[in-house]
């Protein structure tokens, strides 16, 4: 499920070329998830790494993550 969530979110990423020739990428709705690199491929890779870390931290902290094309990741509390 998490792989599908990440792939779906990455398909929504937007990229632009900055004045210095580097690439900037972000995913709308994912605050603070962005990357900047000298090539588009590296920018995509870095953006996915940032997204993965953002998801892990968000889940660990119990944050509600964005719904992406109907996909939602939630933490299910353990029952003792």
What pLDDT, in 10s, does the model give residues 10-47?
999 999 999 999 999 999 999 999 999 999 999 999 99
79 has a pLDDT exceeding 90: no
Find out whether 56 and 74 touch, Cβ atoms under 8 Å: no
pTM over 0.85: yes
Q: Kindly report the average pLDDT of the chain as a whole number.
A: 94
Fold observed for domain 2-60: Double Stranded RNA Binding Domain (3.30.160)
The span from the CA of 53 to the CA of 56, in Å, is 5
SS3 content of the chain, % helix, strand, coil (to 5): 40, 20, 45
The span from the CA of 21 to the CA of 65, in Å, is 32
User: Taking residues 36-62, what's their average pLDDT?
Assistant: 96
């Amino acid at each position: 499920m998490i792989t599908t969530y990440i792939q779906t979110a990455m398909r929504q990423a937007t990229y632009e070329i900055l004045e210095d020739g580097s690439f900037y990428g972000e995913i709308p709705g994912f605050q603070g998830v962005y990357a900047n690199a000298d090539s588009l491929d590296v920018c995509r890779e870095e953006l996915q790494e940032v997204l993965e870390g953002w998801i892990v931290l968000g889940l660990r902290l119990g944050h509600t993550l964005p719904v992406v094309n109907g996909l939602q990741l939630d933490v299910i509390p353990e029952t003792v």
